[in-house]
Structure 1
């Protein structure tokens, strides 16, 4: 399959596939199972989202104006120029991940983490070149989430004495080709799961390491 195209300009980031793909995400504007040829990010600052501004409307309107109205849409406060990508292989499976990583409002899962008022989030799309049915996409999403969490924990970023596991505003999308014959299994013991896990881990680890390095440099 042809490699996806990455477009980054004017506070937008997009990954465009050669053909429409099956996508599963919790995107604010196109959540759940859908089909799309593009996944797009909007970079929005805290100043863009004062009290009273609808974030969904802001996301939809600005990305539509940028030509991404039909995309699965994500929003981040991270400078979208600081995106990271990874391609990983396992057996016959190839996975591609594009991620932006910010940890300003990070927390530890299971703890009471009230909003900080600071924007910060992890957004990623991972594509696998093997067609998956709905069960397979759900399992792929679970693997991507597990890999995201492992990558963040391995950064060792501490908040309130605990290693953080993510942020309160993360969003993950998984995508695969559309076909009549689709696979059901995408777990840890499959090539699909291994490729997804490695691609997500490496992209998130790279993005997170860059963010942590920036914060530590700012404090010195």
Structure 2
């Protein structure tokens, strides 16, 4: 069970119980136990070459009472977040996504010129079953796969690209499951856990991409 609190510049997800998370988030990356995941919307001029982004973000989180949260950054309006849910054989999964594509890239190649803005895709995926660390990593890989499929289906092409983007240069994924001493050891596509995770992320990214492509903001 979780609650979502969106009060710009913050989007905060709170779990009713401690969760085990894996991510490459800017704040508290790797394997951690936490009860909150927070997005910080970055305004124009807040971060620049002269700013220590890690320290700035840690200070912002501390001032907001979120020092123990896993934290992500985005230039996207956090109120644009999209949720997706899925239930497979009694297993429930959910995804919360903020998405901007101004920073879009195609895997295996980088654009020569840096794009304007700082669009990114931030995804929190949750499952109601405890997972081992290995299964948590496996589920995280499925989140990335589902995101990529949704983007290819959307067909968005950034400047100087001959094919659809497959992500952005600053994407972040957080995968979360209840923290207990033992968990399910597998979360691949042959499992109910893997199907549920993939389905909810696919639905949420499809909708978020359609929203952005239909009305791209002046900045992400």
Aligned residue runs from structure 1 range 58-97, under 5 A: 58-97=56-95
TM-fit CA distance, 1:206: 1.1
More helix by share: 1
TM-fit CA distance, 1:10: 2.9
Q: Spell out, residue by residue over 1:60-89, the C-alpha distance to the aligned partner (whole angstroms, 9 max, x if none).
A: 111221221110000001000000111111
CA distance in 1, matches of 2:16, 2:199: 23
Q: Spell out, residue by residue over 1:24-71, the C-alpha distance to the aligned partner (whole angstroms, 9 max, x if none).
A: 000112111000000000000342112111221222111221221110
Aligned residue runs from structure 1 range 1-220, under 5 A: 3-114=1-112, 115-159=114-158, 160-215=161-216
TM-fit CA distance, 1:92: 2.3
TM-fit CA distance, 1:117: 4.1
Matched residue of 1:187: which SS? coil
CA distance in 2, matches of 1:206, 1:63: 29
Please tell me whether the aligned partners of residues 92 and 127 of structure 2 are also in contact (alpha carbons under 8 angstroms): yes
CA distance in 2, matches of 1:176, 1:192: 11
Please tell me whether the aligned partners of residues 8 and 79 of structure 2 are also in contact (alpha carbons under 8 angstroms): no
Do the aligned partners of residues 153 and 46 (structure 1) sit closer, same or farther apart at CA in structure 2, a change above 3 Å counting?
farther
Please tell me whether the aligned partners of residues 15 and 40 of structure 1 are also in contact (alpha carbons under 8 angstroms): yes
**After TM superposition, where is structure 1 displaced by more than 6 Å over at least 4 residues in a row?**
none
Please tell me whether the aligned partners of residues 45 and 119 of structure 1 are also in contact (alpha carbons under 8 angstroms): no
The two structures, once aligned, show a CA RMSD in angstroms of 1.4
CA distance in 1, matches of 2:8, 2:214: 25
CA distance in 2, matches of 1:8, 1:173: 18
Q: Which runs of 5+ in 1 are unaligned?
A: none
CA distance in 1, matches of 2:182, 2:40: 34
- Quick check: 43-52 or 191-200, which moved more? 43-52
TM-fit CA distance, 1:101: 0.4
Please tell me whether the aligned partners of residues 30 and 72 of structure 1 are also in contact (alpha carbons under 8 angstroms): yes
CA distance in 1, matches of 2:17, 2:125: 15
